[in-house]
Amino acid sequence: MSDVAEWANNNNLDLLYDYDDPKGFQLHHVLGRSAKHNKVAIGHWFIIPVPFELHDIYGKHDCNVTHHKHRFTDEYGMQRLLFIDMVDDMRMEMYAMPPTEVLNSIMDTNA
């Protein structure tokens, strides 16, 4: 979903996070690039932009999703819900959408 990077570059990430990172963002494959759920390939679709400090492997933030997934979700919410908030906004801006089967499978995850 290459449109995620374009959307993140064109929009303020305040829609997803109450966090401003001057370093920008990184794309986070929530369950990994090759993830499947209920036999549906979701890895290439289940991507969210995450502020750099909250994702980078060298980041030391207490809520870094790479190192402290539970703290991240406690602070910012379930990743699947962040994804849906982003997709809803992308839909209004006429970006390409994941297939319905993929969206349903993502919403069925525990992420």
Rounded distance between C-alpha atoms, residue 96 and residue 111, angstroms: 22
Amino acid at 15: L
The encoded tokens of residue 86 equal 């982003």
Tell me the per-residue pLDDT of 56-102, one tens digit each, with 9 for 90 and over. Answer: 999 999 999 999 999 999 999 999 999 999 999 999 999 999 999 99
User: pLDDT band for position 12 (50/70/90)?
Assistant: confident
> How far from 108 is each of 8, 37, 97, 102, CA to CA, in Å?
24, 8, 17, 10
- What average pLDDT does the segment 11-32 reach? 90
Q: Is the pLDDT of residue 47 over 60?
A: yes
Tell me the per-residue pLDDT of 23-32, one tens digit each, with 9 for 90 and over. Answer: 999 999 999 9
Rounded distance between C-alpha atoms, residue 66 and residue 84, angstroms: 20
